[in-house]
Amino acid sequence: MQMAEEVPLMRLERVTKTFPNGLIALRGIDLEIARGKVYGLLGANGAGKSTLIKILSGALPASGGRMVWRGSSVQWSSPKEANTMGVATIHQHIPLIPTLSVLENVFLGDGGCWRRDASLRTRFMDICERTGYWLDPGCVVSDLSIGQRQMVAIFQALGTGAELIVMDEPTASLATEEREVVYRIVRRLSRAENKAILFVSHFLDEVMALTDCVTILRDGEVVSRADTSHLDEARIAEAIAGRQLVALERTPQKHQGVDAPVLLDVCNLASPGKLEPVSLKVTAGDVVGIAGLLGSGRSELLHAIFGADADAIGDVRVNGKAIGRSAMAAVNAGMALVPEDRMAQGLVPGFEIWRNTTLPALEGVSWRRWVPLRERERERGEEAIRRLKIKAPSPNSSVTELSGGNAQKVTIAKWLFSDVKVFLLDEPTAGIDIGARTDILLLVRELAAAGSAVIIVSSEFEELLAVSQRILVMRDGRCIAERAAEATSEHELILLASGKSVTSTLVQPLGAQPTKSE
């Protein structure tokens, strides 16, 4: 006797979405999601992934089509309704309450006097056991790193007992060890707990390793749907971009020569409890990569250089001149920081593209360098869109309407119209698609070729190898090694960053003494 085929947990039938400004985000999407499987949802920034996720999670209504949940037509009126019915969404921009504790955020949706319910700690510890990842339940979320906040969001989804879990770029801001935790969670949820997982990622290697089947969107339409076993990374990349992509190869980066001026000189820069003394020099045309795992001090180093760490001590010079310990002094000296958390630290969410783009250099679009001229500001926004290939209807678009990759391009574009000598880039490619990622890495090369000094932090060590002349390795707030990019490998950098032993001798930073363990 033949078994009846199981009804999909979620089914989308010809779902469309048109926004009031006339933008068509989705054009008749069909999708089936069953229990016990991991579904990859892929596409370039602006392809429609975020819009589709918002419809699934109840944040947006569909303009047309039909959504079927457990065999019945539904249209969520709010994210809370979707969550109550069994759909949990882990968003790329983590919507946690920073002033509450980890425990309070994880069980935020629980009603009643939940703060006094001791059983929540038991449930919390159960999630820790299931995932093999431990967080302090009493820690305030604002004190956590971005990677730890991502894990809180994952715990929050698990705490609801949802049947369908939508993960939007859950590993974009995580280091290697934290990614492995997410992979283990995904496999356990789908195989051992029979959950359905919709997994959105720009990392093609993890898509190949984790998913059972893949749906690829382009310009709001499904352009490919196949079992993952029938695909490879090259075919996926071509379907995402609509063209064949050439990988950004490692090529020997040209130095400006021994006579190249030192644009950035850092001497014994430290921050108590966060960063031990670091010294480095970066010349014109030099790209220095910073490798390290989450919590290694990568971001702390950039923030200390930029003057954004009030506790930092040490000497920072730009073009030979000492600068004050403030972000304003750094900007005035010709330094730019593109932070890891672009929406919280790199952009003004309520502003349009043109307004964000002109903020650091208003004098260039002002009458007598004093009164901003809106027409010039819009022209600057249009130039930024052309130069960085930002996908947006116009400079008047709010940055909150942009996809992750296009928003990231705006955070970089705003510095391109100033006299910036030193660029500090903190995870500039996190959470963006392969095409936009290549654009940004090529831009890094162009900035260096034009005579700027660049320091770039990336969790993707292969990216550092592709664009850097040399790479510093951070661990536990210390610079523990330096490598020429052409003389090292991704494998060695991972070993160094994770504290594993390597056969080669570490190059100690200026002023550091080797320890017995090294």
DSSP state string for 261-319: -EEEEEEEEEETTTEEEEEEEEETT-EEEEE--TTSSHHHHHHHHHT--TT-EEEEEET
The pLDDT of residue 293 is 75
Q: Has this prediction a pTM greater than 0.75?
A: no
Query: In sequence order, what are the residues at sequence separation of 6 or more whose Cβ sits closer than 8 angstroms to the Cβ of residue 102?
Result: 135, 136, 137, 138, 139, 140, 141, 144, 152, 155
pLDDT at 355: 84
Residue 68 near residue 11, CB atoms below 8 Å: yes
- Domain boundaries along the sequence of the chain: 10-241, 261-334+419-518, 352-418
Nearest to residue 453, comparing CAs of 288, 307, 333?
Answer: 288
Topology match between the domains 10-241 and 261-334+419-518: yes
User: With a cut of 50, which residues of the chain have pLDDT below it?
Assistant: 1-5, 113-115, 244-246, 503-518
pLDDT tens digits, 81-110: 999 999 999 887 677 898 999 999 998 877
CATH number belonging to domain 261-334+419-518? 3.40.50.300
Residues 6+ apart with CB under 8 A from 192: none
- pLDDT for 516: 33
Give dist(CA 456, CA 392) in Å, integer: 26
Q: pLDDT, tens digit, for every residue of 297-339?
A: 898 999 999 999 989 999 999 999 999 889 899 999 999 999 8
In sequence order, what are the beta bridge partners of 494?
Answer: none
Q: Does domain 10-241 have CATH number 3.40.50.2000?
A: no
Q: Parallel, antiparallel, or unpaired for β 335-338 and 422-426? A: parallel
b/e code 392-403 from CB counts within 10 Å (16+ = b): beebebbbeebb
